[in-house]
Amino acid sequence: MQALEIFEEFSLYLKEMKSKGKKVIAFISHDNIPEELIDAAGFIPLRLIFAGNDELMDASHDYLPPSTCAFAQTCIGLFALKPRQFDFLDLIDYFIVSNHCVSDICASEVICKYFNIPRLNFYISYIRNSNSEKYFRLEILEFRKKLEEIKNSVISDEAIIESIKKYNEFRKFLETLNNLTIQGSLKLKLMQKAFLFGPKIIPELKDFINSNNNLRAQSSNSKDLLLTGCSIFMNDILIDLIKEGGGNIIFFDSWIGSNYYSQQFDNSAFENTQKPIDLLASRYINNIYGDHCVPNFLENKIAQIEQIYRKYKEKTGKRLGVINHIIKFCDHMSLMSSFFKNKLQEKGIQVLNIERDYSRANRGQLSTRIEAYLEMGDSE
């Protein structure tokens, strides 16, 4: 299914939800936003997961300099460019200003201020320790209070626990989807759609998984890859360039991928914990692969990729390629990219760091770099 069809379907869904009085709460898609609270309030969480193009990036330059990351530029461009590319953005009632990174804060503030969308704040500490866990709990309480004011009634603990269970099941399906042996481009399209619709899409995920569970990847000649770094967002040509070059992403390790679905609870967590705030706080503190917090994020990430690589080699006898996708001016990914690449290459894992923005002019250069990387041999 093309992204355009998904947008049309999503637009109809949101209009239907709005006609039932539901509020739409949008945010820039990264990590740690407690979407279960939004769901428990009866509202719709809307992640901005849309890749850019020249027009969308240019439209943001009245608000922030072009040295802002290309994804944050795009998020602003979605609101600034007229006529608006996706009409469902007109349905947003509130926008969360969070601090995954500086570009995220700036873009979210610009969207609220210049496009007249009421803001909700959700601050997340950059250090993961017992004090930041206490702080996270306070932010959760404050966020819940704000949602209750909007809803004009209390959000019960039971409703939040039910939402946490629902999203937990959703994450499990996404993990199964990521593990299917199908073309990465197909997998990504459904994963992106799932991020837009949320757990409502579970029946579709179930059907898809049941009918593709025993399939093998279509082309045995393709070079299998792990994608890490920034997500490939909807409408991005990068996934097509990788496919055209002979690559097949078998593992998505990014915000749209394992970083999200790996943050699951065992069923025992629900038996042992009655308070939703304890569950949400434990998820935050156990999020050791998230790129928002120090210490040890990078070391954990490198160890995780090495483990996936070794398992893959044991199973297939082949080397798994690693593409580290860096959206231009993304400080989170670009600052550590040389260290990340060197560390993995010291372990015999070949890494391609791709830093790019969304301009069309980059297409040829991107293809050349991807093809050159994919032509490297499989045997050590």
Q: Which residues bind ligand SF4 (CB under 6 A)?
A: 30, 69, 71-72, 100-101, 103-104, 230, 327, 330-332
* Shortest CB 206 distance to ligand SF4, Å: 31
Q: What angle do CA 78, 80, 84 make, to 5 degrees?
A: 60
* Shortest CB 108 distance to ligand SF4, Å: 9
* Shortest CB 82 distance to ligand SF4, Å: 23
DSSP state of 294: B
Q: Whose Cβ is closer to ligand SF4: residue 39's or residue 104's? A: 104
Q: Whose Cβ is closer to ligand SF4: residue 40's or residue 69's? A: 69
* Shortest CB 142 distance to ligand SF4, Å: 23
* Shortest CB 333 distance to ligand SF4, Å: 6
347: which 2 tokens?
A: 């372990």
Residue ranges in the chain assigned as alpha helix (H)? 3-19, 35-40, 54-59, 70-80, 102-114, 130-151, 157-179, 184-197, 202-212, 238-244, 258-261, 267-272, 276-285, 297-316, 331-334, 337-346, 363-374
Q: Whose Cβ is closer to ligand SF4: residue 106's or residue 320's? A: 106
Instruction: Select from 127, 103, 138 the least CA-distant residue to 30.
Output: 103
Q: Whose Cβ is closer to ligand SF4: residue 74's or residue 222's? A: 74
Q: Whose Cβ is closer to ligand SF4: residue 157's or residue 331's? A: 331
Question: 65, 77 in Cβ contact below 8 A?
Answer: no
77: which 2 tokens?
A: 């461009």
Q: Whose Cβ is closer to ligand SF4: residue 168's or residue 254's? A: 254
Q: Cα–Cα distance between 195 and 118 in angstroms, integer?
A: 23
Question: 290, 317 in Cβ contact below 8 A?
Answer: no
* Shortest CB 376 distance to ligand SF4, Å: 27
Single-letter amino acid code for the residue at 203 = P
Q: Name every residue whose Cβ is closer than 8 Å to that of residue 44 and which is 6 or more positions away in sequence.
A: 14, 17, 22, 23, 24, 25, 38, 198
